[in-house]
Every structure is written in C-alpha cells, then in structure tokens.
Amino acid sequence: MEFQKSTVYQIYPKSFADANGDGVGDLKGITQKLDYIHQLGADYIWITPFFRSPQRDNGYDIADYRAIEPMYGTMADFEALVQKADALGIGVMLDMVFNHTSTEHEWFQKALAGDETYQNYYIFRDGSPDVPPTNWQSKFGGSAWAYVPHLKKWYLHLFDTTQADLNWENPVVREELKDVLRFWKAKGVKGFRFDVINLISKPDVLEDDLTGDGRRFYTDGPRIHKYLKELHRDAGLGDVLTVGEMSSTSLENCIRYTDPQEEELNMTFSFHHLKVDYRDGEKWKLQPVDYRKLKDLLETWQTGMAEHGGWNALFWCNHDQPRTVARFGDTRQHWRAAAKMLATLMYLMRGTPYIYQGEELGMKNAGFTAIDQYRDVESLNYYRILTQEQGLSSEEALHILAERSRDNGRTPMQWTAEPGAGFSTATPWIGLSVDSAGICAETQVNDPDSIFTYFQQLIALRKAEPVVGNGTIEFLFSQREDIFAYRRTGQGQELVVLCNLTGQSISGDFVPLVQDMQRQLGNYPDVKELAQNQLRPYESVVYLREVSPAQLE
C-alpha cells in the first residue's frame, strides 16, 4: 500500500494488552487485538521497542537488538504476530533505537572491560572525574556525560545515563546496525521507525555550548544525510516504510530527509507543533496552548514540505506526549466533539497519519496526583530537579507533571468497562487513567456516534478519495485564531475541511466555501448550523466535490 494513503497505528506494548496476566502488556496481547486494529482500518502497526532491555526507559535502552525481552514473549510469539498481521493486510513496523544502546548491551560491557575496539563503538573521552568533556545537557536532565572511574574516561549519553550514545563515525558500528535491519526485514517486517535518528552524527571535535545545551552541535549533525543514504542503500530500505523521529529539527533538513530523490526516509516526525504550550520553549514550564502559533507551524510545515517534495508524518501524540484531547481540546462537555475535530484537522492534511493507541477512543490524561504513581525516568528525574534544584513545592511540581509527563500517554489501554479496563487480570505496571470511566473500546466499536467509529470513517475517507493522499493543500482563514481550515485539490477532486478550535460557536463565510459540495463527515449529526454560517463548539465538517480540470483553473 502506498504510504501516501496509509494510516499507521502506534502500539506501546507495555500498556496495550496483557495476555499472560502479569500486569505488563505483551506480544500475544497485540496479536489478540489485531482484529480491532484491522476494524479501525490501519495499514501498519508501529510497535515501540520490545527487545531485550533493562527497561530503564521502557525499552528505548536496548541490550540486544535481535532478542525479545522475555516479559513481552518469545520470537515465536513475534512470528505469530507477523503472520496474523500479514493475513489481515497489516504491515509491522519496528522501532530502531540506533542513537544509543543500553549500557547492558554486550558492546558496552566489553568497552567497560577495557576492550578498545568496543570503546570505539561509543563516544568515550579521557578526563578528570570532576570536569566533564563538555557542558552538554542530557535530554532527561543533568550532564550528558557519565564518568567511568576504572577507565578514567567519560562516555556521552544524550538521554539516560544507561543509554550510551553510539559512535556513528565508526564504520563497523554502521555495519552492525545495517545487519540488525536485515535481520528484522528477513522476519517479514514491513517498516521501521528510527528513534531520534537526526542526533546520530556528532561533530569531530566536541566543544562547550556557550548559548545552549549542546543540541546545536549534533542535531541534524554534520554527516547525517550521508549516513541515512548509506542505510537506505545497504539495508534495502527502498521496499519498506520508513519514518525518522527528528528531535528539534529544521524544515530544510526534513525536506532533504524525505525528498524521494534523496533516498533517505519516507517521512519524518517533527515536534515544533507540540511545543506551543511550552513557556520560553521549556517543557517543564506551563503555558496555555498558543493556537495562533500552532496554526502557523502546521501551515509552514505543510506548505514547505509540499513545495519541495517532502512528506510529513501527521500526529498529535505518542508515548512521549500528553493525550491529545486533554491538551488541545476539552475533556468535559465537548469531549467527544473535540476529539473528533482534532482528528479531522490533523489526519486529512497532506502526510501519513499516526494514531496512538487510545487516541481513537478519546482517552484522557493519567490524572496522577502523587509521585509514586509515576514510572517514567524523565518524569522522576524532573520531579527531583524541579523540587530539589529549582525550589518548587511538591504540589507545584506534581501539577506540572500532571500536564507534561510522558506517563499521561502510557496508562493502560481501555478495552472494557470492567475494573482494570480489560487490560490485565493482574495489577497493571502503571495505574489506569483516573478519567477512564465511560471510555472503552468495547462500547465504542458498536456505537455509530463514537470517537472510534469516527476515526474509522476518517481512515476510510483517506483511502477512498485520492485527493486526501495526493492532493495539494491550501489554508483558509489563515489570519483567524478560532478556526483551522484548508482545501485539498487534485486527482479531479476538491476537499474542504473546516474546524472550530474553540468551545464557542463561531461564524464566518463558511457556506460559500462548500457550495455544490457533498458533506462527507461531520462531528455533529446535522448540518443546520453551517447553513447559518456557523460552526458549533469544536465542530468540524468535511466536504468534497469532483471537478473537471477546466473548473480547477
């Protein structure tokens, strides 16, 4: 299936479905739920890492790229999963964490034992114990360097201390990683998501960052395009779907990463639109969503990528983000309308949708109120930093965590209305969302007005109407902060999407825009208000018409 028409469903295995009753989701659980994903209409599933790992960062700390972490199951379970997915026409995408390995990986263990060949797999620097080689900061807080006393050396870790950065300048490392890709391709894997792949190329000389945390030296680094081309060529990435997770990237680079002629990746995740509620650009400082900025960023990326042959992954959330409806919509009176509107806004743009487990049900944030409810290493680190280093009270820090913690997206998937939400028969590894009542797959799959059913219709529309996959995009009402609207054109069709971003009714010249068009979707059951040039709170509507080439002029 062409990636332009495809939809990807993201699974965080730990929190998806627990088949063996130990409180942790597993591969068998995923296999059991493939019919549900098929019913939704997704073409691919991206499963976040389930490889052997000490789980400091829930699998993003990989100790063996070719082995399955026992709590998730066995290789036979994985093969059964791929077989069933194949039968349903669903491609399996794996998450390749190639910027770093766990410090428990055999390579790092050999490096620690003094083997220089393996020390050269990582970024080690000599130095005295009290002065790190540079002042770079870890993304999870604190210095990006850790000292190994018996070696008298520091190693670089852009994330947790147990996630040591690999040395991509070493060609042997690159060969090792290509082999990992070949291994999984041979198992029938149809795509790869590359974790923070734009951070892999570090400069030859590492120096202090006098104006920032170091990211400007290694983000979209010096040899990044060369390395991606090499991976594409040598691991045969041309016949699978590829998406790169790009941390703090630029539009120019994302165009290059995804321009088909460059032969690097099919598409990229960029995160600028998910920082519009960061005060001073800082994740741990709250501010209300700046919708003006959100609109500008989405428009810039849509238009910029389209003009230069790039391709966006379309997404509102993932396992690192708060829940979409809580962050950008409304969790109370207009919960259902807001969840549907946000899906409409994002997933009919030009790009490939990535729906994160539970988003199709309108799942809400965790609602945790005590630090011992949190599991995420980043959240726990920042709680300490906020309270011990920045002087916030525990209440203030917990308030920030409740908005920002990655655990908001990691609470168990809500399958049924039973206690435990049908995720597990045991106590789950992380608590359910406190707002889970009344939100579950079991009731939504058979309800024609549910968020699930709406997602189903939206995905079906993408597949049925060629303009969604291949049309151009033009934004309407660019100057207005209360409405997000656009027109897609191409393939002999025209599609208009109007979304009210607010909890109030808004008015405008909406009717002329959709004259002679057929209504395809709406998150309110009737069309009454639009006829009066109004959109109700969080209302969204989608109209389509067939056009002859002459009419398009």
Q: Which of 18, 26, 43, 57 binds ligand TEU (CB under 6 A)?
A: 57
Catalytic annotation present for 372:
no
CB of 476 to ligand TEU, least distance (A): 31
Query: What are the strands, taking DSSP E only, across 407-482?
Result: 472-476
Among 85, 97, 386, 497, binds ligand TEU (CB under 6 A): 97
In sequence order, which residues have a C-beta less than 8 Å from that of residue 375 and are 6 or more positions away? 58, 407, 410, 429, 430
**Contacts with 222 (C-beta within 8 Å, 6 or more apart), sequence order:** 201, 203, 204
The answer to whether 275 contacts ligand TEU (rule: CB under 6 A) is no
Distance from the Cα of residue 51 to its chain's centroid: 19
Site string for ligand TEU, 230-249 (x = CB under 6 A): ---------------x-x--
Compute the least distance from the CB of residue 384 to ligand TEU, in Å. 15
Nearer to ligand TEU, 387 or 502 (CB): 387
Q: What are the start-end ranges of the H helices in 60-122?
A: 75-88, 106-112, 116-119
Within 122-267, residue ranges assigned H as helices are 171-186, 215-218, 224-234, 251-258
Residue 194: name the closest of 1, 5, 65, 43 by CA: 65
CB 348 within 8 A of CB 497: yes
Count residues contacting ligand TEU (CB under 6 A)?
14
Beta carbon nearer to ligand TEU, 31 or 242: 242
Closest distance between ligand TEU and the C-beta of residue 492, in Å? Answer: 39
Minimum CB distance to ligand TEU, residue 274 (Å): 9
Nearer to ligand TEU, 268 or 520 (CB): 268
> Nearer Cβ to ligand TEU, position 277 or 320?
320
Of 85, 81, 12, nearest to 48 by C-alpha is 12
* 407 touches ligand TEU (CB under 6 A): no
Q: Which of 7/321 has CB closer to ligand TEU?
A: 321
Range 118-137 burial, b when 16+ CB lie within 10 A, else e: bbebbbbeeeeeeebbbbbb
CA atoms of 204 and 209, how far apart (whole Å): 15
3-state class (DSSP) for residue 382: helix
Interaction mask 148-187, ligand TEU, x per CB under 6 A: -----------x----------------------------
- By C-beta, is 60 or 124 nearer to ligand TEU? 60
Amino acid at 47: I
56, 223, 225, 283: which one binds ligand TEU (CB under 6 A): 283
Q: How far is CA 191 from CA 7, 29, 75, 355, 416, in A?
A: 13, 21, 18, 16, 30
Query: Of 123 and 306, which CB lies nearer to ligand TEU in the complex structure?
Result: 123
The CB-of-373 to ligand TEU minimum distance in angstroms stands at 19
CA distance 331 to 517: 32
Q: Of 195, 277, 494, 539, which one is the catalytic site residue?
A: 195
Q: How far is the CB of 403 from ligand TEU (least distance, A)?
A: 13
Residue 535 bridge partners (DSSP): 506
For residue 30, the minimal CB distance to ligand TEU (Å) is 18
C-beta nearest to ligand TEU: residue: 60
Alpha-helix residue ranges (DSSP H) falling in 219-276: 224-234, 251-258
18, 57, 77, 245: which is the annotated catalytic residue? 245
Query: Is 195 an annotated catalytic residue?
Result: yes
At its nearest, how many Å lie between ligand TEU and the CB of residue 100? Answer: 7
Which of 43, 165, 220, 320 binds ligand TEU (CB under 6 A)? It is 320
- Residue closer to ligand TEU, measured from CB, 4 or 387: 387
Identify which of residues 245 and 539 has a Cβ nearer to ligand TEU in the complex. Answer: 245
Q: Cα–Cα distances in Å, from 26 out to 16, 78, 242, 321?
A: 8, 10, 24, 22
196 lies in the binding site for ligand TEU (CB under 6 A): yes
Regarding 452 and contact with ligand TEU (CB under 6 A), the answer is: no
195 binds ligand TEU (CB under 6 A): yes
Query: For residue 199, what are the contacts with CB-CB under 8 A and spacing of at least 6?
Result: 99, 158, 218, 219, 221, 247
- By CB under 6 A, is residue 354 in contact with ligand TEU? no
Which residues, listed in sequence order, are joined to residue 147 by a DSSP beta bridge? 154
CA 250 – CA 197 distance, rounded (Å):
14
How many alpha carbons fall within 13 Å on the CB side of residue 303? 12
- Is 378 a binder of ligand TEU (CB under 6 A)? yes
Task: Out of 14, 38, 139, 336, point to the residue binding ligand TEU (CB under 6 A).
Answer: 139
Residues noted as catalytic: 195, 245
**Site residues (vs ligand TEU, CB under 6 A):** 57, 60, 97, 139, 159, 195-196, 245, 247, 283, 319-320, 378, 406
